[in-house]
Amino acid sequence: MLLDYETLKLVWWVLIGALLIGFAVTDGMDMGVGILLPFLGKSDTERRVVINVVAPHWDGNQVWLITAGGAIFAAWPAVYAAAFSGFYLAMFLVLAGLFLRPVGFDYRSKVQDPRWRSTWDWGLFVGGLVPALIFGVAFGNLLQGIPFHLDTFLKPHYDHTFIWALLPLLNPFALLAGILSVCMVAMHGGLWLQLRTEGVIAERARAAVGLLAPIVTVLFLVGGVWVYLGIDGFRIVSQPDLNAMPNPLAKEVVRAPGAWFDIYRTMPITMVVPALGLLAPLLVWMLSRVRRPGLGCFASGLALTGVIGTAGLSLFPFVMPSSTNPNSSLTVWDAASSHLTLTVMFWAVVIFLPIVLLYTIWCYYQMWGKTTVKQIEDNTYNAY
């Protein structure tokens, strides 16, 4: 079966979105646990319990991020080039935060000194907080448009210098999106801790989820109203045939109030996605409160899917809109690789993705069970 070029472009938009959601659901759980670590573990042993809940899986979960980055590079090279060149400082901060995680997991318990261990506990906190915050800020800026334009050679140029590259990103709406992202993954991590621990740690996790879940709903609602009332969206007025070879400068784009809501007006079924983002956190709150964290984790995954899916659907077909020259905006249709590249990658996904998913499920199955204080005390040299 040979898919036409337009269909492949759409398929890869869905696949990259699925990879980002997979990263948020799996590694977001680990980052959320790291954010909660200094607050839910009151003693060294309790903090080791918290760490050991995610320690066997965090590196495998982070592969989702690596795969998503590789997929963007291969499927949307223009987006990869524009984003990584313009947001190099932000990307470096994410990378620096992620560096703290493997070192923190592997070296925290190698030394008995409380100051050493406390330092790495806060390192794991930063390693969870900073990437979650920056990713949320990035989505907040995408909805406002990125200050870049393409020249006649399709080379991206930014309206700020490298030194000040980060400051324009930290605007009020983007910070709201960043805080939403942090609260979202912390809620997800809290559900996982409630499911995989017992006693006082599980109860503290339950209390954290009870606080965070309503905040996620409120922030998501405020962000939606803010976009509707105060942020102009982008709309394509004319463009070449969708099966044509990509040329980002061959289309005409305008900014218009309410344009980010076009897809919900033309395809009402898509309203299911923002409804998930709005209501699923409340379901998380209820399930956590009645001590059903297993179902709560599923509901939390739906909440993350709803929030991230809403951003993706609202932007569609834009991937990286330009605030300074709307016609330079990169879309699903004109930022893609060649037909052959997308085809080869598609069949690679068809073959290997089921294998990866089955292996991941097997790993979780083999290492399933609650992590307790007694286990940590009985396995001093084997546990993290």
Q: What is the pLDDT of residue 366?
A: 81
The Cα 343–Cα 337 span in angstroms is: 10
* Secondary structure (3-state) at 223: helix
Q: What percent of the chain has pLDDT over 70?
A: 96
Per-residue tokens: 67:
């795969």
The Cα 222–Cα 372 span in angstroms is: 39
The Cα 290–Cα 258 span in angstroms is: 39
User: What single-letter DSSP state applies at residue 146?
Assistant: B
For residue 384, being part of any structural domain is answered with no
3-state helix, strand, coil in the chain (%, to 5): 75, 5, 20
pTM of the model as a whole: 0.91
Q: What is the pLDDT of residues 169-227, one digit of tens each?
A: 788 999 999 999 999 999 999 999 999 998 899 999 999 999 999 999 999 999 999 99
How many separate domains does the chain show? 1
Q: What is the pLDDT of residue 57?
A: 84
For residue 254, being part of any structural domain is answered with yes
Q: What is the pLDDT of residue 353?
A: 86
Q: What is the pLDDT of residues 333-344, one digit of tens each?
A: 999 999 999 999
For residue 352, being part of any structural domain is answered with yes
In sequence order, the 6+-apart residues with CB closer than 8 A to the CB of 254 are 234, 235, 237, 326
* Secondary structure (3-state) at 10: helix
Q: What is the pLDDT of residue 384?
A: 67
For residue 239, being part of any structural domain is answered with yes
For residue 383, being part of any structural domain is answered with no
Number of other CB atoms surrounding residue 30 within 10 Å:
27
Q: What is the pLDDT of residue 383?
A: 57
CA distances from 157 to 151, 164, 249 (A): 8, 14, 14
Host domain of residue 185: 5-378
For residue 190, being part of any structural domain is answered with yes
Number of other CB atoms surrounding residue 341 within 10 Å:
15
Q: What is the pLDDT of residue 382?
A: 56
Q: What are the DSSP E strand ranges found in the chain? A: 148-150, 156-158, 232-238, 252-257, 318-320, 330-331
Helices (H) and strands (E) in the chain, counts: 13, 6
The Cα 349–Cα 342 span in angstroms is: 10
Q: What is the pLDDT of residue 1?
A: 57
Q: What is the pLDDT of residue 233?
A: 93
For residue 146, being part of any structural domain is answered with yes
For residue 267, being part of any structural domain is answered with yes
Single-letter amino acid, residue 327 = N
Q: What is the pLDDT of residue 137?
A: 93
Per-residue pLDDT of the chain (384 residues; tens, 9 = 90+): 578 899 999 999 999 999 999 999 998 999 999 999 999 988 888 898 899 888 888 888 888 888 888 899 999 999 998 888 777 888 888 889 888 888 888 888 888 888 998 899 999 999 999 999 999 999 999 999 988 888 888 888 887 654 555 666 788 999 999 999 999 999 999 999 999 998 899 999 999 999 999 999 999 999 999 999 999 999 999 988 888 888 899 999 999 999 999 999 999 999 999 999 999 999 999 999 999 999 999 999 999 999 999 999 999 999 999 988 999 999 999 999 999 999 999 999 899 888 888 988 888 888 788 877 777 777 765 556
Number of other CB atoms surrounding residue 26 within 10 Å:
21
CA distances from 271 to 274, 298, 307 (A): 6, 20, 12
Q: Are 196 and 29 in contact (CB under 8 A)?
A: no
